[in-house]
Amino acid sequence: MPLTRDLDQILLTHPCPHCGHGLEKTGRWFTTAAGFRCGGCGVPSRITYDIKLRLWAVNAHLAP
Ligand SMILES: [Zn+2]
C-alpha cells in the first residue's frame, strides 16, 4: 500500500516511543521524514515505513 498524497495537508500526530509526547506534522512532512528528535524528551527516533503505514491507516478518514 503506497502512502497517498491525500494527507499532505493534514496534521498527523505520532507519539514519541520513549515519552509519549505527540509529534505533530503534516502528512507531507511524514512522507519524506526518516526520523525526528522528540520535543518532549529530546531523544531521536526513526520513522520507519511501517510506522508511516500505520499513521496513514489511522488517519485515512481525515482525507478531504
Ligand atoms: Zn519523547
- Tens digits of residue pLDDT in 21-51: 999 999 999 999 999 999 999 999 999 999 9
Residue 3 alpha carbon to ligand 1 centre in Å: 25
Give the distance, in angstroms, between the CA of residue 1 and the centroid of all CA atoms in the same chain.
16
Separation CA 61–CA 64 (nearest Å): 8
Residue 49 alpha carbon to ligand 1 centre in Å: 19
The pTM score is: 0.91
Residue 9 alpha carbon to ligand 1 centre in Å: 24
Q: What is the pLDDT of residue 25?
A: 98
Q: Which residues, at least 6 apart from 36, have a Cβ–Cβ distance to it below 8 Å?
A: 14, 23, 25, 44, 45, 47
Residue 5 alpha carbon to ligand 1 centre in Å: 27
For the chain, counts of helices (H) and of strands (E): 2, 4
In this predicted structure, the answer to whether residue 1 has a pLDDT above a threshold of 90 is no
Residue 45 alpha carbon to ligand 1 centre in Å: 9
